[in-house]
């Protein structure tokens, strides 16, 4: 990371940003054409929210573009974080090309999360771990399960045009604003993801021409968790939970309801609240723009939780805020 003002006032930062933007536009433009020509597309089925084939391999170029941008901005990757990211990208890429059984995917997700927790997070909280062996065992298990769930929840929620682009841009911009307020160094990774996503959303917005695919959504879920865990390690855990709260709540409540109804919860479906909103008459862009509104509200609560460090009232308000929109999305006559 670099000094906030020094980063933006550096003489060649502007040119680096322009170079990354132009490179991203050109790469995604040609990638879309190549994927259509190769037939590497997501074809509609009974649960799809689109009605024509869409190029599927956005993540194949999206994630490498993020890596390239961070290199240009001299971001220092932790080798274990990069290892976990690479494993998730590879298994997801294989899944996009040739469907991988859910169990095998989940095993790799657990391995990646375990590497991240054991070799990165636990190292960051070594002093605390040494004071409580019980915390070490239970905390480690909890973190591995939580990160694995978050990665998959992010993937589950990537079901309509623009929605995950809005989500990741909201998280990254919120984190940069919080860092600025705390007079901390700029998070170059968040900045890089924001730049690349600001280009990708043009191709992914309605009418979408390019999907992230698992090779995009799974690694992005991991990178989001990494950025939010960094905020948690700084002591702002309520703020970190609030920023992605809608995604987590929609995915979690939907899963619990499917388990309660004794459905095959591991099977793909279209029962998420944002998908119900589509069925109830809202457009893809309409739902994505409402997610932006939700995230603005969550940012304000998250920012307040930074100012009034970890006051739980903001968590309660966040749960109410997200529940309100989930209720509206589930109504057949959507009043919002």
Q: Is 183 left (phi over 0), alpha (psi -120 to 50) or beta?
A: left
17-23: which pairs have CB atoms within 8 A and are 24 or more residues apart?
17/195, 19/72, 20/65, 20/68, 20/69, 20/72, 20/192, 20/195, 20/196, 21/195, 21/198, 21/199, 23/65, 23/68
* pTM over the 0.95 mark: no
Read off the pLDDT of each residue in 299-317 and give the average, rounded to a whole number: 96
Does 49 have pLDDT greater than 70?
no
Does residue 20 lie within any of the structural domains?
yes
For the ranges 48-57, 189-198, 239-248, which has the lowest average pLDDT? 48-57
Count, residues in the chain: 336
Helix (H) or strand (E) holding 42: strand 41-42
DSSP, collapsed to helix, strand or coil, labels residue 33 as helix
Residue 11: predicted pLDDT = 61
Does residue 333 lie within any of the structural domains?
no
The count of other CB atoms within 10 Å of the CB of residue 327 is 10
- What CA–CA distance (Å, rounded) separates 70 from 248? 27
Name the band, by pLDDT with cuts 50, 70 and 90, for residue 50.
low
Q: Is 333 left (phi over 0), alpha (psi -120 to 50) or beta?
A: beta
Residue 105: predicted pLDDT = 95
- What CA–CA distance (Å, rounded) separates 121 from 129? 11
Domain of 202 in residue numbering reads as: 4-235
Read off the pLDDT of each residue in 85-91 and give the average, rounded to a whole number: 97
Residue 88: predicted pLDDT = 98
Residue 1: predicted pLDDT = 54
Residue 185: predicted pLDDT = 87
Is residue 166 within 8 A of residue 283, CB to CB? The reply is no
Q: Mean pLDDT of all residues in the chain? A: 92
- What CA–CA distance (Å, rounded) separates 6 from 97? 43
Name the band, by pLDDT with cuts 50, 70 and 90, for residue 10.
confident
Does residue 294 lie within any of the structural domains?
no
- What CA–CA distance (Å, rounded) separates 111 from 103? 12
Does residue 275 lie within any of the structural domains?
no
Does 205 have pLDDT greater than 90?
yes
Does residue 206 lie within any of the structural domains?
yes
Prior bond to 207 cis, omega within 30? Answer: yes
Does residue 104 lie within any of the structural domains?
yes
Does residue 45 lie within any of the structural domains?
yes
pLDDT digits 0-9 by tens, 96-107: 998 899 999 999
Does 91 have pLDDT greater than 80?
yes
Is residue 57 within 8 A of residue 214, CB to CB? The reply is no
Q: How many domains does the chain have?
A: 1
Does residue 154 lie within any of the structural domains?
yes
DSSP code per residue over 70-122: HHHTT----HHHHHHHHHHHHHHHHHHHSPPPHHHHHHHHHHHHHHHIIIIIH
Name the band, by pLDDT with cuts 50, 70 and 90, for residue 109.
very high
- What CA–CA distance (Å, rounded) separates 239 from 241? 6
Six token digits for residue 286: 């309409």
């Amino acid at each position: 990371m670099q000094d906030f003002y020094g980063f933006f006032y550096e003489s060649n930062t502007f040119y680096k940003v322009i170079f990354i933007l132009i490179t991203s536009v050109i790469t995604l433009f040609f990638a879309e054409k190549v994927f259509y020509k190769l037939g590497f597309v997501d074809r509609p089925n009974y649960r799809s929210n689109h009605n024509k084939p869409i190029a599927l391999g956005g993540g194949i170029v999206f994630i490498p573009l993020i890596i390239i941008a961070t290199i240009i901005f001299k971001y220092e990757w932790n080798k274990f974080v990069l290892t976990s990211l690479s494993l998730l990208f590879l298994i997801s890429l294989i899944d996009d090309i040739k469907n991988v059984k859910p169990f095998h995917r989940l095993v790799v997700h657990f391995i990646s999360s375990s590497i991240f927790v054991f070799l990165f997070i636990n190292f960051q909280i070594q002093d605390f771990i040494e004071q409580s062996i019980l915390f070490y065992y239970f905390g480690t298990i909890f973190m591995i399960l939580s990160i694995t769930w978050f990665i998959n929840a992010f993937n589950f929620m990537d079901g309509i045009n623009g929605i995950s682009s809005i989500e990741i841009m909201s998280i990254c911009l919120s984190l940069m604003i919080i860092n600025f307020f705390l007079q901390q160094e700029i998070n170059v990774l968040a900045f890089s993801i924001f730049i690349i996503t600001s280009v990708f959303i043009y191709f992914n917005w309605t009418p979408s021409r390019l999907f992230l695919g698992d090779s995009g959504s799974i690694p992005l879920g991991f990178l989001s968790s990494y950025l939010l865990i960094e905020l948690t390690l700084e002591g702002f855990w309520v703020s970190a939970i609030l920023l992605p709260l809608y995604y987590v709540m929609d995915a979690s409540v939907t899963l619990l309801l499917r388990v309660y109804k004794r459905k095959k919860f591991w099977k793909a479906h279209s029962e998420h609240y944002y998908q119900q909103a589509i069925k109830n008459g809202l457009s893809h862009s309409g739902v994505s723009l409402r997610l932006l509104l939700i995230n603005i509200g969550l940012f304000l609560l998250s920012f307040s939780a930074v100012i009034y460090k970890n006051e739980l009232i903001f968590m309660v308000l966040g749960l109410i805020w997200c529940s309100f929109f989930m209720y509206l999305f589930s109504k057949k006559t959507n009043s919002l």
